Amino acid sequence: MASLPLRFDGRTAIVTGAGQGLGRAYALLLAERGAQVVVNDIAAEAADEVVDEINAIRGIAVVDHHSVATPQGGAALAEQAQGAFGAVHIVINNAGVNRAAEFVDLTPELFDEMIAIHLKGPCHVLWPLWPAMVEQDYGRVVNVASGAVWGLRGQAAYAACKAGVMGLTRTLAREGRYRGVQVNCVLPWAVTDRSPDRSGEEFGPIIEAHVRPEDVAPAVVWLAHEDCPANGEFFTVDGPRMARLAWIASQGHTDLDPTPETYRDHWDEVVDLTNYTVPTSTNNHMRHTVMPHFNSQARNK
């Protein structure tokens, strides 16, 4: 027996940066599945076109042109959404801009611009909405990070901001979990109009055919659904491939009277990931990873 399709009837979703690329794909799929969508993008013409596309498939959408890089923009976006549809149930924090620069060329002004939209932007959007989500005992937030966090030359500012988004996700998930608000994070990869030409590469044809925004959107929309059990998790979404990511910790080496030589002489233990753990929170890391080693050392002294 086939399972029922996932629907969003009666749900309102905000998608920031929804005028093109991945954001557009998220907005269109949510609308196809019955959600009322607020299409946010400072690129006014592009955002208007997405709303027209949604109307063409008999979906429901309104446009918003405010910048999420300021608290005022986030508040105005929330007001627009609530004024149009009432309660907001879903937020996809997708808006972003990439200003590539080697660290030696990275100016404070450029770094501040990146922080304002990538790291502060999700906060600007959520600050006016979070109390209502908690009050209604329901909310789904999908924050968008990037594979640049693994290390990508020329992306120091971008990677730093996106790593911050991952930390923000974990903490918001802890704070919202008892009130029906779930927060997860995706690291998407897709070929868009701004992507480099890969036609001459070995895997170029496969990437062009299968790593598209439309292939990423189903994973993000699943995370935004009420049936999704994930909370405080990270997922890489490489086109049609979705996989869980995790911060892990090795068993390490414990010495209650350490010296620098301690770690030099036990370096293999420090870096050995054979029996790693996956901390789910700061307290979980202390309780299940750190303290047992301390207690074992203390008993053996």
CATH number, domain of 95, equals 3.40.50.720
Q: Which of 245, 269, 286 represents a domain boundary (last residue)? A: 245
Q: Are residues 60 and 110 in the same domain?
A: yes
87-126 per-residue burial string, b: 16 or more CB within 10 A, e: under 16: bbbbbbbbbbeeeebeeeebeeeebeebbbbbbbbbbbbb
Predicted confidence at residue 196, as pLDDT, reads 54
Q: Are residues 54 and 27 in the same domain?
A: yes
Count of alpha carbons within 13 angstroms of residue 236, beta-carbon side:
11
Is 6 contained in some domain? no
User: In terms of residue numbers, what domain contains 238?
Assistant: 12-245
- The answer to whether the CB of 37 falls within 8 A of the CB of 13 is yes
- Other C-beta atoms closer than 10 Å to the C-beta of 14 total 30
Predicted confidence at residue 280, as pLDDT, reads 84
**DSSP tag of 4:** P
Residues in the chain predicted with pLDDT less than 70, given as ranges, are: 1-2, 193-207, 209, 297-298, 301
Catalytic residue numbers read 158
29-68 per-residue burial string, b: 16 or more CB within 10 A, e: under 16: bbbbbebbbbbbbbeeebbebbbebbeeeebebbbbbbbb
Is 24 contained in some domain? yes
Q: Are residues 62 and 207 in the same domain?
A: yes
Q: How many domains does the chain have?
A: 2
Q: Are residues 117 and 228 in the same domain?
A: yes
Q: Which of 245, 269, 292 represents a domain boundary (last residue)? A: 245
- For the record, the structure tokens of 137 come out as 């005992």
Distance, in Å, from the CA atom of 57 to the CA atom of 43, rounded to the nearest integer, reads: 22
Predicted confidence at residue 2, as pLDDT, reads 61
Smallest CA-to-CA distance from 216 within 69, 24, 84, 81 is with 24
Q: What is the pTM of this model?
A: 0.91
Predicted confidence at residue 223, as pLDDT, reads 98
Q: Are residues 213 and 82 in the same domain?
A: yes
* Percent of the chain clearing pLDDT 90 (strictly above): 82
Is 5 contained in some domain? no
With 0-12 / 13-18 / 19 or more C-beta atoms within 10 angstroms meaning exposed / middle / buried, residue 169 is buried
Q: Are residues 87 and 148 in the same domain?
A: yes
Distance, in Å, from the CA atom of 14 to the CA atom of 2, rounded to the nearest integer, reads: 30
- Other C-beta atoms closer than 10 Å to the C-beta of 180 total 14
Q: Are residues 164 and 28 in the same domain?
A: yes
Q: Are residues 170 and 294 in the same domain?
A: no
Is 189 contained in some domain? yes
